[in-house]
Each structure stands twice: as C-alpha cells, then as structure tokens.
C-alpha cells in the first residue's frame, strides 16, 4: 500500500516535470523563432538602408554637375515617400547639415574660443527659448583645457560632482546629443535646439539657401530677418533664398565682411535618414555624408536608431 502511494507520487511528479519541460521547450522555440525572424529582418533592413545610402550618394554626385548652388528646390532635397520592398517599405530624406549651426565652430582652428560664433550660438539659444548660458558651458566642454575660461563655463569640477561622475570631452563632438551631457540641459531644451544644430568638423560654413529661420536670424545681431519657416519655404520653392547678395544688401559693409567667411551657398555635409520597416521590425539609419568638391561622396558616420 505504501509502495503504491510512493509510485503514484513519483508518477505525478514526473508528469509535472514533463509538462514544465514541454512548456519551456515550446516557449523557447517560439522565442527563438521570433528572435531569428527579428535578426533576419534587421539584416535585410540594414542591406536596404545601405542601398538607400548608395542611391543618395549618386543623387548628390549628379547634383554637383548641374549647379554650384545647393538649395531646397533640388532633387536631393525631395523626401522619398514610403516605397515597397520585400516584406515592408523604405522611406528617406536627405538633409543639408550646413543649414544648421555647427557646434564644433565654437572654437577656432587653433583651439581658442571663437567669440563671434559663441555670440551666434547664444542668440540661437535665445531664439529657441533655451538658456543662453549653455553656449559657454559647451565651449568649455569642447576646449582642450580644464580651466573655466568662459562666462557660464564648466569643467571637470562640475562634472565630477554629478552622479555618476564623468569628465568633460575636451575635444570636438561627433553627435549633438552630447548637449545632454551638460548638467541641467534637459530633453525639452534638446528638442528645441535639435533641428538647428549639427556636429561637423570645425570650420564648416552655413549654407544660407537651406539655413533654418533661427540659424539665419542668429547670424548677425538684429540685422537679418528673412521671415519665418513658412515664408522661407515659400521663397525657396524656386531656388536659393536668401542669396548672399540679399545679405549684402541687408547688412552694412563691415557686418557683411565679418559674416563672409561664415556663410556659403553650397554644401559639403549632408545627412541621410532612412527608415526601413519589415514586418514588425523598424530600423532607422542616420548617415553623415561628406561630398567633396569633385562630387565624390562618402559616409563618415553611420548610426542606427539615434542620431
């Protein structure tokens, strides 16, 4: 009688273990299948995104043969609506990164503070409704030394006091998201300045044909007003607006001479944003593209998911 009881309990336990194992194997198999499908979709998406990048490079290469000017009426500036691909779709845009303020331009080529560009960035922050003291803090973040040399500056002393502690970059930035490393610079601040800033090699000029209204207005104190986003878009349907000549007409000679080395009507730095959707997976590729003056295009930085 006792032996039969033990046998029964053993049988019950074995069935329970078998059930758990079966359920586990079934779940693992489902997860594996899902994971494999996800990896396959991402691999395929990556290849498609690289294809889009090659296509963008070709359009930019063809563009340079047509005109010397780069403006928003040109082929590269037209967004590509969602196009069907195997199992999904792809869409993309090419942006002119020289229509934005290059944060690395807060320093001159010799590494010292560029006061004119710091003043421009202060104006840009003010126009974007963000505290202008971040201009000084960012200049300290970029410059090689660890001495607070700017009004509103901040060096290691401030960052080591953070939790967790970290140090200043003390070098050029490669992504505008580094603004978020400044203690107190919020996501709301970032959302306000994000469309107007870029992280390019220092020395790049601002293309007035594509510059955002805030970037244009920040160029010279109180002297340039070419309208809001709507007015600019209307005036840019046919080509470059404003032309450098328009700026010359608006400014006095001294102001224009000071501005001349900071602006252009053409661009070397673009960014492709390609969004690939396959099944339930989505991949966004950000490719920073450099076009040289002969029309050659190369991807300098690629990132997935975040810019």
Q: How far is the CB of 85 from Ca ion (least distance, A)?
A: 28
Pick one of 48, 56, 57, 70: the residue that binds Ca ion (CB under 5 A).
70
Using CB under 5 A as the binding rule, whether residue 95 contacts Ca ion is answered as: no
Three-state SS sequence of 244-285: HHHHHHHCCHHHHHHHHCCEECCCCEEEEEEEEEECCEEEEE
DSSP secondary structure letters along 92-143: EEEEEGGGSEEGGGGB-TTSSB-HHHHHHHHHHHHHTTS-TTHHHHHHHHHS
| Residue 21 half-sphere exposure toward CB, CA atoms < 13 A | 6
| Residue number with the smallest Cβ distance to Ca ion | 70
Q: How far is the CB of 148 from Ca ion (least distance, A)?
A: 8
Site for Ca ion in 164-193 (CB under 5 A): 168, 170
Q: What pairing do the DSSP bridges indicate for beta strands 197-198 and 101-102?
A: parallel
Query: What's CA 44's distance to the chain center, in Å?
Result: 23
Longest CA–CA span in the chain (Å) reads: 111
Pick one of 114, 143, 189, 265: the residue that binds Ca ion (CB under 5 A).
143
Q: What pairing do the DSSP bridges indicate for beta strands 263-264 and 206-207?
A: parallel
Q: How far is the CB of 181 from Ca ion (least distance, A)?
A: 12
3-state secondary structure at position 83: strand
From 46-54, 61-69, 96-104, 111-119, span contacting Ca ion (CB under 5 A): 61-69
Residues 6+ positions from 105 with CB-CB distance below 8 Å: 114, 117, 202, 203, 204
Using CB under 5 A as the binding rule, whether residue 96 contacts Ca ion is answered as: no
From 39-47, 160-168, 194-202, 293-301, span contacting Ca ion (CB under 5 A): 160-168
Q: How far is the CB of 188 from Ca ion (least distance, A)?
A: 26
DSSP secondary structure letters along 182-196: STT--HHHHHHHGGG
Pick one of 53, 63, 114, 189: the residue that binds Ca ion (CB under 5 A).
63
**Nearer to Ca ion among residue 126 and residue 133 (C-beta):** 133
Whole-angstrom distance, CA of residue 27 vs CA of residue 6: 31
Using CB under 5 A as the binding rule, whether residue 140 contacts Ca ion is answered as: yes
**Nearer to Ca ion among residue 42 and residue 158 (C-beta):** 158
From 47-55, 65-73, 81-89, 217-225, span contacting Ca ion (CB under 5 A): 65-73
**Nearer to Ca ion among residue 49 and residue 185 (C-beta):** 185
Q: How far is the CB of 154 from Ca ion (least distance, A)?
A: 9
Whole-angstrom distance, CA of residue 173 vs CA of residue 190: 15
Q: How far is the CB of 66 from Ca ion (least distance, A)?
A: 6
Using CB under 5 A as the binding rule, whether residue 114 contacts Ca ion is answered as: no
Contact 159, 168 (CB under 8 A): yes
Whole-angstrom distance, CA of residue 127 vs CA of residue 259: 19
From 17-25, 127-135, 137-145, 218-226, span contacting Ca ion (CB under 5 A): 137-145
Binding residues for Ca ion, per CB under 5 A?
63, 67, 70, 140, 143, 168, 170
């Amino acid at each position: 009688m006792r032996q039969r009881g033990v046998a029964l309990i053993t049988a019950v336990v074995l069935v329970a273990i078998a059930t758990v194992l079966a359920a586990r194997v079934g779940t693992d198999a489902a997860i594996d299948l899902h994971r494999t499908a996800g990896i396959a979709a991402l691999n395929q998406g990556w290849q498609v995104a690289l294809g889009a990048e090659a296509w963008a490079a070709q359009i930019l290469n063809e563009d340079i043969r047509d005109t010397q000017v780069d403006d928003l009426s040109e082929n590269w500036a037209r967004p590509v609506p969602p196009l069907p691909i195997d199992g999904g779709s792809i869409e993309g845009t090419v942006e002119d990164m020289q229509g934005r303020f290059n944060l690395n331009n807060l320093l001159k080529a010799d590494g010292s503070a560029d006061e004119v560009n710091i003043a421009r960035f202060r104006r840009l922050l003010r126009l974007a409704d963000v505290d202008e003291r971040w201009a000084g803090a960012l200049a300290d973040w970029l410059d090689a030394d660890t001495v607070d040399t700017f009004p509103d500056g901040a060096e290691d002393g401030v960052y080591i006091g953070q939790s967790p502690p970290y140090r200043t970059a003390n070098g050029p930035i490669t992504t505008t998201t580094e603004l978020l490393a400044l203690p107190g610079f919020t996501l709301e601040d970032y959302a306000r300045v994000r469309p107007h800033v870029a992280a390019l090699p220092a020395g790049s000029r601002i293309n007035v044909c594509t510059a955002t209204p805030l970037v244009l207005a920040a160029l010279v104190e109180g002297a340039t007003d070419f309208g809001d986003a709507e007015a600019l878009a209307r005036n840019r349907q046919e080509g470059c607006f404003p032309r450098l000549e328009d700026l010359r007409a608006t400014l006095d000679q001294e102001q224009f001479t000071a501005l001349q080395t900071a602006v252009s009507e053409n661009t070397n730095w673009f960014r492709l944003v390609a969004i690939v959707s396959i099944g339930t997976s989505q991949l966004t590729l950000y490719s920073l593209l450099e076009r040289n003056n002969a029309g050659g295009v190369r991807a300098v930085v690629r990132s997935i998911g975040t810019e």
